[in-house]
Structure 1
């Protein structure tokens, strides 16, 4: 369920970057990063941790693209 929200935030960040809306993209990236941090703190299932790691990498790449 929370991974669905994370996916949506990530997609919205990608769309904002594509539409040249850096402030909106930054907001979505920050929200996604916060959610990743929260989920990582409370997740004990290895498969979910692997998924979160993938999103973490993508969010980092998107954040670097904005710089």
Structure 2
């Protein structure tokens, strides 16, 4: 999944205070997707929290790494 896909996924979501992103069935994500979803987009929309859920081990690793949590 790419940065542009993260932008499309989150388009219009800034009207909510929390957005739960369910990763059921997603085997992997790219570093750019995680960066856009969990770092860039939240900085531009500080009133909206992104909450990733149901991550498999590979996706969880990428998310932790993207957030600087090894």
TM-score by length of 2: 0.37
- Flag the structure with higher helix content: 1
* Structure of larger gyration radius: 1
- Flag the structure with higher strand content: 2
RCO greater where, 1 or 2, for CA within 8 Å and sep 6 or more? 2
